[in-house]
Amino acid sequence: MWILYIVLFTLPIIFGASRDFFEREDYDAFGDRLAITENRVIFAENGAREFAIIENPFSSNPVACYLEYIYVDSPRHANTSLDYVYNIVMGSKQDEMEPVVAMIGETKQKEFYLIVMIMAYSPGCTNRLKRTIWVPVSFYELFPPSALAVDPRGTFICVVQLDSTLCIDIISNTTTTSSNYQFWDKKQFFHSRALAISEKRRLLLTAYRIIDEEKKLIPYLYLADFSDPSNPLLLGMKNLSSQYLKQERDVFTRYATLSLFLHETSNMIIVGVPHLDCIFIFSMEQNSLSLVKTHVSPEKNVLFGKSVAIMDSNIYAVLAYSLATLPWSLSQIQVYSLNETVEMPKPLFIFPNNQQEMESTDSQELPHRIVSLMAWHSNGIGLVLDAGNVLLIPASPPGYCSASIKKYEDIDIYKPKSCIPGTRQISSSFGPCMICPPGYKNNGSAGELCVKCKTNDTFWCFGAAINEIDMKNMTSYDQANPYPESPHATEFEDILLQNIFQLPILNLHCLRISPIFWTFVGICCCILICIIIKILSCWSKSRKRQQCIQKILSHCDVIGEGTYWLGGLISLLVLILIIFACKFSISFTYLYPIEQISSGQRRTVSCDNTLFNAKLTSSLQLLSTLKYEEEKPIFTLLNGQRLLLTVQVISTGYTCKDLELHTIRVRGLSIQSENFTCSKHNEVLTVIKLLPQHVLNMQLNLKGPHFIGGLRLCFTAASVTNSDAHSRVQAIDTCQLFFMSNQTLTRNPTVNVKMTKVINRTAGFTLPNETTYTGLWLPRFTADTLTDELLFSLGSEYLRYVPKITTLDISITESEFYMKNTQEPIARQYEILFSTILFASKIVLVLNE
């Protein structure tokens, strides 16, 4: 025994520990001050020196009561009253007519007692103490007693002290004390405050075992039989890890605190070892323990396992003390399935989340920290916060989520609330509602189930669908057309010859306007005339008619200067070609500029739909280059055009009340904007904003747990004209739709819009005419990762329900280059006239030769 006292007095020097290493005001300093059963909740408030008691906490009408410490008097010692509570327990299945509450307390005289309060049942707020039992417990200046537990029936209470184990049998009213050295372990051990008792009076204890020779502290799980308290039996012990704590570390810190929970129905035990960031799950069969599962957290140094619990629905909850879930908490509760077989499973969900938030308290703003986790035999949890508040989160029925908070002073009870649209809850759970599967919807009236969508070409069903969305007028479109290329022939003579001597035989319209076709028709007519003349010469004895026709044709002979009548026929054919050439030349002058002609006009001139009287060139130029004076007005008009941005959030439960619009300035300065319009119709939230400038960053914050199926961005602007400068900026009307089939958008989508100036320079058709300029903004939309489905498919589905805000970032920038398109006529009027005369004269000269 002397070894024990040496260790007791040397550990503080080595570790630097003290009795108040945990701050005395901390709600997890020495044990759990919260006890929960189905019908009662009791919370020890040391600051106020009172117990906060909620009767029937999970009914529709809970009753809040208070019991001051001064009324918990010792029956044997006058003027001895309770001053400080280290931990408190209640049996989960005890007799509610005579509930038993056990605690380890300290008096004002600095004396330690195991205190048992046997209360008289009262339906109202008149909680009367029927009687109390005060049993002194061992006191050590540096290590106060802390390991306390009660069996589910509330009839057998034990406290494991540093040197002995004290047990009270309420029914027989007997007290027994057993030496730890002779019973638990031949070696010395420092117990943690994790102790559990089964209905069969099996004691489970987690403790750090001291290896004297090596001076190491190794976590162990002990199992003992206390069915006969006077003769306890150690049934087994399990080494929880080969890793150990060195003696210079303090075992009485959060880093080294071991946790333990016994699930009586399944005989499953879960043990948390936070300094290893892991938990162990054992099965208790008869008088032995079998390791079922080891769960190691992928996150390191988060004190995973500081508090643990197993629920009735085959799930277990673990407190990750140093893993934040902002903006609500610096800790989080992770809930897992017991059926998972992998070593590092992913949580089913975590608390807090965007459907189950935490609120500020009167004494502390967010974020809070969860210091301990409690559970009772139903599917619910109780949490103690560092702010001195208690959260009770019972399981809600199918179709509901425990999200509506009702406050009772320092105790908040989460009440059932209908699942948000687009989600479902198919079983009783204290977690959030999950989104509907692909192809299903829930507008909030479907209860616990989602309804299959009825879709077609125009009605779509997005991820987390609320209703089908009519997408007939919500598609992507762009007003900008590709700039055409110049014709293959850019010399008018070549174009004229191609169209004069082209004979398209497959298209009737093209055949009708072909000059060479009508020339062939003329040739056929000439042959017919020759045949007629010949017939007349054979049938008629008089040659007057024949001579008359020949004389007329001879006068038409331009080629032989009236010598031959056949030359007249050929001259008529040449005249047909010249007439068609003139007709084409005149029509060709009207095929400029290309913006003012249609395909129908081109088809009346030529069978080539791409024919126009324009030479086109395109170039990419730096925006920073100097501009000619005649070019400056179009840039001024473009820079001054007011753009209207329309953002449509598709298939969402968000409303205008959930929206905040911010303009992000340089160095991260955010300015909230109020100058915008917002409306919602058929699950589509529409936001319209007149942009103050063309280059800016905007942020749409949508607060709440809802989801987004798709996103559509539109830019519109009116046309602007400067008649004096012959410049005009075209109207803008372009939209882009973003979505992923059967998936929800990520919580932080980013859309980048690159605005590019397009300048069209059109030279005048005649040299005295002014050059005109037209301009257009051409936006190019790109988006970062639109969905997190890949992450969710890897087992991180719980992350879908964590963020409180959906943030849409829209970054609008201008390209460093601009596109310059130049249009000039292939041939102007005088050139066309000259080329046509030259063509006619050449034909005549060729035939004359």
The span from the CA of 590 to the CA of 387, in Å, is 83
| pLDDT value of position 453 | 93
CB 804 within 8 Å of CB 658:
no
Domain boundary among 607, 637, 662: 607
The span from the CA of 684 to the CA of 751, in Å, is 19
| pLDDT value of position 638 | 95
| pLDDT value of position 12 | 34
Q: 748 versus 510: which is more confidently predicted? A: 748
CB 153 within 8 Å of CB 199:
yes
| Average pLDDT for 285-302 | 91
| Average pLDDT for 410-416 | 94
- Sign of the C-alpha dihedral computed for residues 456, 461, 467 and 473 taken in this order: negative
Place of tokens 């300029």: 773
Q: How many CB atoms lie within 10 A of CB 710?
A: 25
Q: Cβ neighbours of residue 195 under 8 Å, at least 6 residues apart? A: 147, 148, 149, 158, 159, 160, 203, 204, 205, 260
584 pLDDT more than 80: yes
411 pLDDT more than 80: yes
The span from the CA of 639 to the CA of 641, in Å, is 6
Q: Do 661 and 718 have their domain in common? A: yes
The H-assigned helical ranges of 422-514 are 492-500, 508-512
| pLDDT value of position 376 | 83
> Sorting pLDDT into bands at 50, 70 and 90, what band is 42?
very high
CB 702 within 8 Å of CB 808:
yes
Domain boundary among 554, 586, 607: 607
| pLDDT value of position 698 | 94
| Average pLDDT for 359-376 | 90
% pLDDT > 70, the chain: 88
| pLDDT value of position 11 | 35
| Average pLDDT for 669-682 | 91
The H-assigned helical ranges of 663-817 are 789-791
Q: How many residues are given for the chain?
A: 849
> Is 120 among the domain residues?
no
> Is 748 among the domain residues?
yes
| 756 alpha carbon, distance to own chain's centre | 30
Place of tokens 């390791």: 291
Q: Do 599 and 645 have their domain in common? A: no
Q: 565-588 vs 515-539: helix axis angle to the nearest 10?
A: 160
| Average pLDDT for 375-397 | 90
| Average pLDDT for 208-223 | 80
CB 262 within 8 Å of CB 221:
no
Of 197-211, 325-339, 495-509, the range with the lowest mean pLDDT is 495-509
Of 389-393, 627-631, 835-839, the range with the lowest mean pLDDT is 835-839
Give the pairing of strands 390-393 and 411-418: parallel
What token pair was written down for 657? 């009340």
Q: Do 549 and 655 have their domain in common? A: no
Q: How many CB atoms lie within 10 A of CB 315?
A: 21
> Is 516 among the domain residues?
yes
DSSP string, 269-300: EEEEEGGGTEEEEEEEETTEEEEEEEEE-SS-
| Average pLDDT for 227-239 | 91
> Sorting pLDDT into bands at 50, 70 and 90, what band is 8?
very low
> Is 806 among the domain residues?
yes
Most confident of 487-496, 519-528, 700-709: 700-709
| pLDDT value of position 4 | 33
Q: Do 497 and 634 have their domain in common? A: no
Helix (H, G, I), strand (E, B) or coil at 403: strand
| Average pLDDT for 812-835 | 90
Of 160-164, 324-328, 505-509, the range with the lowest mean pLDDT is 505-509
| Average pLDDT for 137-149 | 73
> Is 773 among the domain residues?
yes
Report pLDDT digits (tens) over 532-557. Answer: 767 766 766 555 555 565 565 565 55
Q: 826 versus 604: which is more confidently predicted? A: 826
717 pLDDT more than 80: yes
pTM above 0.85, yes or no: no
Structure letter (DSSP) for residue 666: G
pLDDT averaged over the chain? Answer: 85
> Is 513 among the domain residues?
yes
Q: Do 658 and 774 have their domain in common? A: yes
Phi-psi region of 191 (alpha: psi -120 to 50; beta: other; left: phi over 0): beta
> Is 527 among the domain residues?
yes
Secondary-structure breakdown of the chain: helix, strand, coil percentages, each rounded to the nearest 5: 20, 40, 40
| pLDDT value of position 109 | 84
Report pLDDT digits (tens) over 446-478. Answer: 768 899 999 998 999 999 999 999 999 899 998
Q: Do 585 and 643 have their domain in common? A: no
Q: How many domains does the chain have?
A: 2
Report pLDDT digits (tens) over 570-580. Answer: 677 777 778 88
| Average pLDDT for 309-314 | 89
Q: 142 versus 625: which is more confidently predicted? A: 625
CB 800 within 8 Å of CB 682:
no
Range of the domain at 518: 492-607
| pLDDT value of position 413 | 95
Q: Do 563 and 704 have their domain in common? A: no
How far apart are the two ends of the chain, measured CA to CA in Å?
Answer: 139
642 pLDDT more than 70: yes
Domain boundary among 555, 579, 607: 607
| pLDDT value of position 497 | 80
| pLDDT value of position 305 | 95
Q: How many helices (H) and strands (E) are present in the chain, helices listed first?
A: 11, 51
- Which one, of 262, 264, 187, lies nearest residue 220 by Cα? 187
> Is 282 among the domain residues?
no
| pLDDT value of position 211 | 73
In SS3 terms, 583-617 reads as HHHHHHCCCCCHHHCCHHHHHHHCCCCCCCCCEEE
> Sorting pLDDT into bands at 50, 70 and 90, what band is 41?
very high
The span from the CA of 120 to the CA of 210, in Å, is 44
> Sorting pLDDT into bands at 50, 70 and 90, what band is 18?
very low
Report pLDDT digits (tens) over 151-189. Answer: 999 999 999 987 889 999 998 989 999 888 777 876 666
Place of tokens 């004979």: 503
What token pair was written down for 686? 């529409």
Of 75-89, 297-311, 329-343, 523-537, the range with the lowest mean pLDDT is 523-537
Q: Do 551 and 665 have their domain in common? A: no
Structure letter (DSSP) for residue 800: G
CB 710 within 8 Å of CB 745:
yes
| Average pLDDT for 521-525 | 76
Q: Cβ neighbours of residue 803 under 8 Å, at least 6 residues apart? A: 354, 747, 748
521 pLDDT more than 60: yes
Largest CA distance in the chain: 166
Cα separations (Å) of 719 from 629, 640, 643? 22, 11, 11
Q: Do 659 and 789 have their domain in common? A: yes
Q: Cβ neighbours of residue 170 under 8 Å, at least 6 residues apart? A: 100, 116, 118, 154, 155, 156, 157
Q: 444 versus 814: which is more confidently predicted? A: 814
Q: Do 497 and 566 have their domain in common? A: yes
Helix (H, G, I), strand (E, B) or coil at 204: strand
Q: Do 634 and 571 have their domain in common? A: no
Q: 363 versus 235: which is more confidently predicted? A: 235
CB 114 within 8 Å of CB 88:
no
Sheet holding 156-160, edge to edge: 147-150, 156-160, 164-169, 174-179
Q: Do 575 and 624 have their domain in common? A: no
- Sign of the C-alpha dihedral computed for residues 484, 490, 493 and 498 taken in this order: negative
193 pLDDT more than 80: no
| pLDDT value of position 569 | 65
| pLDDT value of position 248 | 44
